[in-house]
Structure formats: C-alpha cells, structure tokens
Amino acid sequence: MSQIFATKTAARADETVEGLRAQLAAVREHVREREARVREREETIRLREARVRELEGEVAALRTGNEARWPEAELTPERVVERLEGWCTPRKAAWLARLVTETGARKIGEVGVYGGRSLLPMALAARGVEGAELWAVEPWSNEAAAASQTSEGNDFWWRNVEMARIRGGFLEAVRACGLSAMVRVVELTSDQARAAFVLDQGEGFDLLHIDGAHGEAQALADVRGWLALVRPGGVIVLDDIGWETVFKARDFLRARCEVIEEVREEGEGLVTYGAYRVMRGV
C-alpha cells in the first residue's frame, strides 16, 4: 500500500517538475522576446536622439547670425574641400562627384564624415538628382574614434581632436551650401548605425563611402557589415586602401566585388582609395 502511495507521489512530483520546466521555458521565451523589443526601441531612440542633435546643431548654426550662403562659384567638389576640415583631396573630391553622377546614385552614404570634406563633394554632385539623400554616419566622439587603434601618433590625434568644433563646422557647411534638406546626419558609430539601417529594412545604398575607423578589425567589420546594405550593382568606396591596417578590408572587397578603380595619389603624402561594384548574391 505504502509502495503504491510512494509511486503515485513520485509520479505527481515528476508531473509538477515537467510543468515547472514548461513554465520556465515559456518565461525564458517571453524574456527573449521582450529583450529583442527593448533592443529595437533602443535603436529607434538612438536614431531619434541623433536627429534631435542634428536639429539642435542647425538651430545653433542659425543663432550664429551668419546665415550667408557660400558663393555658388565655390560650390564645386574641388573648391569646397578647401573650406572644410578633413583629408579628402581635390582630386578625390572630383572622383567621388564623378562616381555620383556616372552611377546616378540617389541613396548615398558615408561612414566617417569628420568635417564633411568627402561628403559635401558627393552631396553637391547629387544636388540635381530628384530624391537624392546623403546619409552622414559619424559619432564625432573622441572615445569612439580612438577605440580602433592604428598607430601611436594617430591614436593620440583621435583622443584629442576637438570633435565638437569639427561637428559644428560640418553642420554649418551643410547649411551654408544649401544642402540641409538632402543631408541626414546619423550621429552614431558605424556598428550602431548599421544595426538601425538593418532594422529599418529600407532600400539599399547606391553608393557608400567607408572612411571611418582604420584599425584592422573595425575596418574589416565595416566593409563586411555594410556590404549587405548596398544594393547589387551599387558601389562601395573604401578609403586608405594603401594602409596596412586596411588591407584585410580591401582584400575582402576585392574578393567579392568588381574592382572599378583603385587610385594612388602621390602628393604631399600617399593618398589611396578604391571603388568596388557590389555583385548580386554576395
């Protein structure tokens, strides 16, 4: 009798344990779903915060009282770079502008904007294109810029450069060139911005210039990650393909895309960049 009782009790205990396990699995699933939803909302909040900062910048620029537009004659790719902070040479500016017009790019992006020296030439070239938009991905953060290390000198520069001033100069230039309606500032790191674009599931980029972190791991992560966000037939431009830390990123693109052109400018210093056409199914 007591044996039958013990067996029944054990069976009931097993059922209870099974029931609890099922409940636990359901709770875990629920928590996973909630966490995914929280992550999505965090991305949306980040994008909205970035937009608020962009508008604040525009307001601040208007408050300076300097509302004069730059003269139209200065608004050519080669000439505009002379007014901006950054590294893009006049030759590269003209080359980027040509890529915009030759490909008829409408959705254009840049990762690593700094003072806008390479973004503004592309934006000026796209001025006549209906519906053209320029996505400017740049955190303007010393911490983010110094996170991807290249050399002692570079790392020191990125830890100390006055990002707020560079950001202000860029926003002011966008306004002074009459490009505010086209340029969409995404004040996030490359990884954060990419996650937001993936969630957004919008159209792929026609042209994307990658000139953000130059450390080996982040440069590779950038081309790997952003490649999926460029439409087949679209073009990725990668800067500094002559830097050792960028070789892996360059070789990644060489292996998967059609090489349109790789340029080596030898002037005051060596300037290198390449354009790669994204093929279907990469």
Ligand X SMILES: C[S@@+](CC[C@H](N)C(=O)[O-])C[C@H]1O[C@@H](n2cnc3c(N)ncnc32)[C@H](O)[C@@H]1O
- Binding site residues, ligand X, CB under 6 A: 86-88, 111-114, 117-118, 137-139, 144-145, 148, 189-190, 211-213, 218
Q: Which residues contact 57 (CB under 8 A, 6 or more apart)?
A: 167, 168, 171, 185
Q: Which of residues 11 and 217 has its CB atom nearest to ligand X in the complex?
A: 217
Q: Which of residues 107 and 117 has its CB atom nearest to ligand X in the complex?
A: 117
Q: How far is the CB of 190 from ligand X (least distance, A)?
A: 3
CB count in 10 Å sphere of residue 112: 22
Q: How far is the CB of 53 from ligand X (least distance, A)?
A: 15
Q: Which of residues 42 and 143 has its CB atom nearest to ligand X in the complex?
A: 143
DSSP H helix total and E strand total for the chain: 10, 7
CB 104 within 8 A of CB 129: yes
Q: How far is the CB of 271 from ligand X (least distance, A)?
A: 10
- CB-closest chain residue to ligand X: 86
Helix (H) or strand (E) holding 49: helix 2-63
Q: Which residues contact 170 (CB under 8 A, 6 or more apart)?
A: 84, 85, 113, 114, 115, 116, 119, 136, 138
Q: How far is the CB of 129 from ligand X (least distance, A)?
A: 21
Q: Which of residues 9 and 151 has its CB atom nearest to ligand X in the complex?
A: 151
Q: Which of residues 176 and 246 has its CB atom nearest to ligand X in the complex?
A: 246
Q: How far is the CB of 253 from ligand X (least distance, A)?
A: 17
For residues 21 and 75, give the distance between their C-alpha atoms in angstroms, rounded to a whole number: 67
